[in-house]
Structure 1
């Protein structure tokens, strides 16, 4: 680690933020790096953001509206000039050496975004995420959930979690930040996949710990964004031939998800996602042209990192998961060489 390495940290605040001040304090207590901190007020509760407004060791940005995770990170990055950028969730508490460890790994010329080991705050030996697997059908989830971490050396991941990650500023500039049409969810997945297609590997440093005060939620708005953005990711990132080959699986999966959405009460939100894509076809096409033109590695190579196997908790039934995994894995094994 070079003494005085500058890290610009972006923390977003929205709604009730009971851990915001503690998060900020943990970031500013980081050792081995020089921290420049920006907090983006995405309509945070006044009582939670107020204590930060007059502090001299950070800057509070007020866009006047909720810009979402993607827009808030882009806005924060515009106000930073540091050599490295870090995204830290407002309910994450960092160990003193976490940012320094992430910077040390991110400085490797072949490194993409580098994430911390995301642990449950109340159970710091237990993983909330050790890297996010990306499924062939576009679903992404927290990898290693509820497992105990024993690794001590950095390792490759399919997608680095935006809960706490670091990347080189020049890489962020090359990416032009996040696509703000995502608003929230899967923008970090797109970022990781884009880097991998350039031959830059997303990584996790298991000894760089972020303790996450995580509360699982599954509400209609969240499900709308997850599903809408999954389709946006597929439509812009996946190669045309892969989409054609995967069409039978994608159609069957879409039907199953739609039936599930209506059974669970968020069916109208699922339909709203289709309507959003129909209204924004110009953006989808423009984004696809950008993403398809920047690939530096063969399609098959980056798609090798996509998994054909869902974790049990994603589908919710171990028996159903085994069946779905067997079908998808067998089908992909038969057609993958045609991509």
Structure 2
């Protein structure tokens, strides 16, 4: 079959106007040399003038904008985008990302190099760089979880901490680490930490060889110059491939880890993260595309398992690097997020692992006191029964 492009990049957007500049400025800078690239931008009925803004600011000859009259979710939006693709290979890229110059060429040449590979997964870094704060104490001290960063309130995120007890107050020990995102970019930083139950003589925070003591008001003030930020900033992994644990919960390999030698080599993975992957368009169509019952979450895991049934491997490839804001279209641990993750876990297990185990999990959700879990369970049962009815009618 003749293809107009080597690669089609599909970007699904829902009210993501605020991410367009970061993404498209980075896409304009990618090193593609002799690779023919198409960009397919699917808008899921946004209300923030995303499409108008994109058309006005980024008039690219290889850009195709597809407007859906309804929100089809990540699964349906990508399926719609693939129908408009004219590339031999397709790349799924989240809208809340920015890519490095060789992001696409590394993906493309890697998958072309080995026909046994079904999907190549980029190294996905958190969008911002971080500054690492080390705790020093002979026992422990408490930090308030809300701090000030350049006079703006910031809630310390548990996934960016190590060796702590997390709550309204954070218990820090002598080996505790706190990673603070540099959301203002590479500038001077003034950070205020509020401390309780401390010893002035033995407790402090340090950044490499820079020591910051607790003052008599129980405050640690860190004045960090731009030059010190440049010297000490580091990047954290968001995803270096994905996995499924014994409870069938999906997880990101390397989540919150510093980018080290471990994540600078390629390896085979169990399932891929749909934030940045490449595959043959023909393989995607062969397995039926994304299952639109999933809407969003677990849809990439389900697709991964179906690609593996083609006797193809999934590879994490660290030379392809993308930065990702993470949960850009939905808020992590919101009711929406919990509903879809809980429901789609059941659908994934039912389709790919064990129907019996899926039903047991879903019955437990149904009996749970949490209303969101019960609603997710009912929705999962409805989808399973509807699919069974459809199969029966086809026979």
When residues 35 and 283 of structure 1 are mapped into structure 2, their CA distance, relative to the original with a 3 A threshold, is: farther
User: What's the counterpart of residue 98 of structure 2?
Assistant: 93
Q: Is it true that 1:109 corresponds to 2:219 in the alignment?
A: no
Shift of 1:89: 0.6
The secondary structure found in structure 1 opposite 2:302 is helix
Q: For the Cα contact (< 8 Å) 1:52–1:60, is it kept in 2?
A: no
User: What's the counterpart of residue 79 of structure 1?
Assistant: 84
Shift of 1:128: 0.6
Q: Write the deviation string for residues 252-279 of structure 1: whole angstroms up to 9, x where unpaired.
A: 89648965xx4xxxx2221112211332
Q: 1:198 aligns with which of 310, 319, 341?
A: 310
User: What's the counterpart of residue 138 of structure 1?
Assistant: 248
User: What's the counterpart of residue 172 of structure 1?
Assistant: 284
The secondary structure found in structure 2 opposite 1:106 is helix
When residues 253 and 135 of structure 1 are mapped into structure 2, their CA distance, relative to the original with a 3 A threshold, is: farther
Q: For the Cα contact (< 8 Å) 1:236–1:287, is it kept in 2?
A: no
Q: 2:50 aligns with which of 25, 48, 51?
A: 48
User: What's the counterpart of residue 22 of structure 1?
Assistant: 22
When residues 20 and 257 of structure 1 are mapped into structure 2, their CA distance, relative to the original with a 3 A threshold, is: farther
User: What's the counterpart of residue 278 of structure 1?
Assistant: 381
Q: For the Cα contact (< 8 Å) 1:40–1:60, is it kept in 2?
A: yes
C-alpha separation between the residues in 2 aligned to 1:288 and 1:189?
23
User: What's the counterpart of residue 70 of structure 2?
Assistant: 65
Q: TM-score, normalised by structure 1?
A: 0.73
Shift of 1:100: 1.0
C-alpha separation between the residues in 2 aligned to 1:238 and 1:165?
23
C-alpha separation between the residues in 2 aligned to 1:56 and 1:44?
21
When residues 104 and 60 of structure 1 are mapped into structure 2, their CA distance, relative to the original with a 3 A threshold, is: same
Shift of 1:29: 2.9
When residues 255 and 278 of structure 1 are mapped into structure 2, their CA distance, relative to the original with a 3 A threshold, is: closer
C-alpha separation between the residues in 2 aligned to 1:131 and 1:275?
31
5+ residue gaps, structure 2, are 130-233
Q: 1:208 aligns with which of 278, 295, 320?
A: 320
Shift of 1:284: 3.8
C-alpha separation between the residues in 1 aligned to 2:366 and 2:121?
30
Shift of 1:109: 1.0
Q: For the Cα contact (< 8 Å) 1:30–1:96, is it kept in 2?
A: yes
Judging by fraction of residues, say which structure has more helix.
1
Q: CA RMSD in A?
A: 2.6
Q: How many pairs does the alignment contain?
A: 274
Shift of 1:197: 2.8
When residues 46 and 253 of structure 1 are mapped into structure 2, their CA distance, relative to the original with a 3 A threshold, is: closer
The secondary structure found in structure 2 opposite 1:93 is strand
